[in-house]
Chains A and B, each alone.
Chain A
Amino acid sequence: GAVVSQHPSWVICKSGTSVKIECRSLDFQATTMFWYRQFPKQSLMLMATSNEGSKATYEQGVEKDKFLINHASLTLSTLTVTSAHPEDSSFYICSARDDDVGNQPQHFGDGTRLSIL
């Protein structure tokens, strides 16, 4: 159980394109999901906390208008990188935790490698 699916796994697109990444909890409900960014050889940096039915909470320094987050249901959160530029190229990974079970770890999707040309 506790499977998180992230799609797509790899995106290559031109500068100026908007890219949407989906994160789904397949067998549990998640009121809260998390979006991270990881640069090569570095740790995961939390970008924002996605809250079902309300606005996302962004970490300091993360542009809200650049990284749009929508958490439309208890099993789906999306991250849209708007007007992407080469500096947005990175590994993006989402996570979710089963709301109904205490002391559960965050389970991660497989990540999305985004390359902006």
Chain B
Amino acid sequence: AQKITQTQPGMFVQEKEAVTLDCTYDTSDPSYGLFWYKQPSSGEMIFLIYQGSYDQQNATEGRYSLNFQKARKSANLVISASQLGDSAMYFCAASGFQKLVFGTGTRLLVSP
């Protein structure tokens, strides 16, 4: 079973600045995936980025990058050049065999 820990209940960042959202995980599965999702106030879950446990390089998707440190069991999300529309809840998640386990989330607020 996986366990996801997001220690930052809330984060503030100024527009155009970069921000790092922390995520650590605990799993006994030899192969797993790590995901980040964004949930705006409207409720939908938007997939942002994926990192496989055997991937050698850190995943990147536009302004999103995943700082994957396997030995530390961390998978932090870095958002570069923050935009006002980035204000939302962000969930880190891990999957082993099919199931997806979520962290408690971090609320990001981007100010002008």
* Bitwise interface map of B from 56 to 88 toward A, beta carbon under 8 Å scored 1, else 0: 000000000000000000000000000000000
Least CB distance from B42 to A in Å reads 8
Instruction: Choose one: A32, A42, A103, A108; the contact of B44 (CB below 8 Å).
Output: A108
Q: Are A91 and B91 in contact (CB under 8 A)?
A: no
Provide the main secondary structure of the chain A interface: strand
Given A103-B50, A107-B47: A43 touches B103 (CB 8 Å cut-off):
yes
Q: Which chain B positions have C-beta within 8 A of A32?
A: 98
B35 touches A (CB below 8 Å): yes
Q: Are B50 and A105 in contact (CB under 8 A)?
A: yes
Least CB distance from A86 to B in Å reads 20
Q: How large is the interface on A (under 10, 10 to 19, 20 to 34, 35 or more residues)?
A: 10 to 19
CB-based A-B contact count at 8 angstroms = 47
Q: Are B45 and A95 in contact (CB under 8 A)?
A: yes
Least CB distance from B96 to A in Å reads 13
A44 touches B (CB below 8 Å): yes
* Bitwise interface map of B from 28 to 70 toward A, beta carbon under 8 Å scored 1, else 0: 0000010101000011111100101000000000000000000
Q: Are A111 and B43 in contact (CB under 8 A)?
A: yes
Least CB distance from B83 to A in Å reads 22
In the complex, what distance in Å separates the CA atom of A94 from the CA atom of B49? 19
Q: Are A91 and B43 in contact (CB under 8 A)?
A: yes
In the complex, what distance in Å separates the CA atom of A46 from the CA atom of B44? 16
Q: Are A111 and B35 in contact (CB under 8 A)?
A: no
Q: Give the A-binding residues of B (Cβ under 8 A).
A: 33, 35, 37, 42-47, 50, 52, 91, 95, 98-105
Q: Give the B-binding residues of A (Cβ under 8 A).
A: 32, 34, 42-44, 46, 49, 91, 93, 95, 103, 105-111, 113
Q: List 21 A-B contacts (CB under 8 A).
A: A32-B98, A34-B99, A42-B104, A43-B102, A43-B105, A46-B99, A46-B100, A46-B101, A49-B99, A91-B43, A93-B45, A95-B45, A105-B33, A105-B35, A106-B100, A108-B37, A108-B45, A110-B42, A110-B44, A111-B45, A113-B43
